[in-house]
Each structure stands twice: as C-alpha cells, then as structure tokens.
Amino acid sequence: MVGRNKALATRAVWDCIFNGGKRGRAPDLWDGQAAERIAKHMAGFLAARRTEADRVSA
C-alpha cells in the first residue's frame, strides 16, 4: 500500500518490475478473495441506488 504518494507508487512499480515485488507470507486471514467480495458489495450497493432512483423518478 502506497496511498496517494507518487514517489512511493513509482518505487513500488519499479520494485515489481525489477525485483518481482513483495515477497513473504500472506497476511493473517488472507484468502485471496477480496476483489470478489468487493465486487459483490458494490453490485448490491449500485442495485439499491438504482432501485431508489427508479422510485424517486416514478
């Protein structure tokens, strides 16, 4: 994680390109499914907003 710091982001990209990036153990409770969970929550959020917008415009 580098946040919005441009220098740290650039350094992290170069590290991935030339050194293969971060190595080591996965964080505790890491299951590699975060993107899928985020997408599912975002889809639900957007569907709820769409439903609300439809109610308001009707």
Q: Which residues contact 32 (CB under 8 A, 6 or more apart)?
A: 26
pLDDT of 43 above 90 = yes
In this prediction, residue 42 carries a pLDDT of 97
Q: Are 12 and 2 in contact (CB under 8 A)?
A: yes
Residue range 15-34, pLDDT digits in tens: 889 988 777 777 788 898 99
Q: In whole angstroms, what is the distance from residue 23 CA to residue 7 CA?
A: 21
Q: What are phi and psi of 36, to 5 degrees?
A: -65, -40
pLDDT of 58 above 70 = no
pLDDT of 7 above 70 = yes
Which pTM does this prediction carry? 0.45
Burial per residue of 31-56, b for 16 or more beta-carbon CB atoms within 10 angstroms, e otherwise: eeeeeeeeeeeeeeeeeeeeeeeeee
In this prediction, residue 27 carries a pLDDT of 78
